[in-house]
Structures are given as C-alpha cells and as structure tokens.
Amino acid sequence: MGKVKIKKKETRIDMTAMSDVTVLLLTFFMLTSTFLQKEPVQVITPPSVSEEKVPVANLLSVLVSPEGKVYLEVLGSQDSTDNKKFGSENVRAHMLQNMAEQYNALHPGANISFTKEELAKFSKLNAFGVPITAMKQWLNMETEDRDKALQQKDAGIPINMNEDPNKPNEFQMWVRAAYNSIDPELQEAILKGTGIAIKADQTTPYSVVNVVMDNLQTIKFNKFTLMTALKSEEE
C-alpha cells in the first residue's frame, strides 16, 4: 500500500499570546485600582459641573443617609510609611482618644476610655457611626454584626440643631477630634475647606443636609465641600 501519510492537523491554539494580554490587563487593573470602600449606606451624589476631584488623603467625609443618620470616614495622609506623615490608622486612633476626652470633660461622671486593642480595631475601620457610649460595645462585635449594627435604627452619630459651640453635640465633637488629631496635614486641609466633605443622596431633603451644615457652621468650620458626580454641561 502507498506510504501516504496524512499530516495530523494541530487543533490546539497557542494560548501564550492570550496569556500575555491577560497578564498585562491584570497588572493594569491591580495598579490602578482603589477598592470600593464598604459604606453603611449607598448614596447617589447629585450631579454638578465642578471638576475638582475628591482628595484621596486628609479627608473627613460626612456620609448623610436620607433619614438623617450621620456616619464619618477619616483618611489621614496617604503615605503611612513616611515617619513624618500620619497614616489613616494613626489619625483614627488619636481621634477616638480625643473624642473620649472631650466627651468625658463635657459630661461629668462619664468615664469613657478605650483599650489598646479597641483603638487598634477602630483604626482599621473605614466608616463608623454609633453614639460614643455604645462605641466600646460596637468595637467588640464581630465584623458582620458591626456592619449590621450600623444599619439599625438607632445607629448614626447623634446630631441635633445646636448653636452653642460650648456645648457641642457628638457630631461636633467628632469633627473637632478630627481637627485635633495629630496630623497637621489633615488640620490644614480642614482649615482650607478641602478637608471636610459632605456626601448625601440627591433625593435627601435639604432640611437633613442643613442640620449637618449648620452644625459645622456653629463650630466655625464653615468651609467645606460637597461631594458630587460629574455632569457634562455644554456652555
């Protein structure tokens, strides 16, 4: 018989090139990504033509839910490896201590203090929003329970219309605590007006946002920013 050999055709495709591309894309996403932070409430910020970006460091953001619950998020200087700069964790721990001191000074009989472990736990958290009296209990919860606790009806930092800077409410104390935290860059940002940002949903009634603005005004932090989403506007 004839020695005709039919060449077997290779059906496998070379995946090397594909692999190259995916690795490249992966590297890109890994380097450019900043993870979505888990937030206690999801808000859709109102559109605006303003093109200023939200700072990634030295920022105290006030998250306002439509019902009027207030949560805070603190970011210190970005680079925590530099000894001269203060990372978010450092700032948060100092902030909590300062807050406890302020609260104790204003409420005779109150004796709120936190252990090192509790401070360490607090410094790892992104957003918080419980009354300071419940803070200890909240910090000692499991992570899941902690997130759930923020959704409860009585969650949120206590806030009310208050025009007496000498008798601040808890929200005002927290803002002062952030200002008094050891980070000079955060302090400067707050004074300049870029350090405090209000983040509220677009359907929130103005009365709710107004309470927060009014509180800031009372303690003389009357420069701040509103977080918005970009809207293109032809002029």
Partner 1 sequence: MAIKSKSRQKKFDTRIDFTPMVDMNMLLITFFMLCTTMIKSQTLQIALPTNEKVEKEEQNKVKQSEAVTIIIDGKIVEKNGVQTSDPTEGMLYYYDGMPEIDNLAQGESNMKQIEFGAKTGGAYPAIREILQERNKEVVLKVADLKKQWKEQAFSKDEKKNDSIFQAKRKQAMNDSTLKRPVVIIKATPNASYANVVSVLDEMQINSINRYQIDRINDVDSAMMIMLQGKNLKK
Three-state DSSP string of 87-113: CHHHHHHHHHHHHHHHHHHHCCCCCCC
Binding residues for partner 1, rule: CB under 8 A, are 12, 14-16, 18-19, 22-23, 25-26, 29-30, 32-36, 45-55, 66-67, 163, 193-194, 197, 199-210, 213-214, 216-218, 220, 222-231, 233, 235
> Strand pairing of 59-64 and 70-75?
antiparallel
Nearer to partner 1, 141 or 230 (CB): 230
User: In this structure, what is the dihedral angle of CA atoms 174, 136, 56, 43, given to the nearest 10 degrees?
Assistant: -80
Distance CA 20, CA 11 (A): 21
CB of 70 to partner 1, least distance (A): 14
Nearer to partner 1, 63 or 130 (CB): 63
CB of 37 to partner 1, least distance (A): 9
Task: Specify whether the CB–CB gap between 35 and 173 falls below 8 A.
Answer: no
* Intra-chain end-to-end CA distance of the chain, in Å: 84
CB of 201 to partner 1, least distance (A): 7
Nearer to partner 1, 104 or 204 (CB): 204
CB of 143 to partner 1, least distance (A): 18
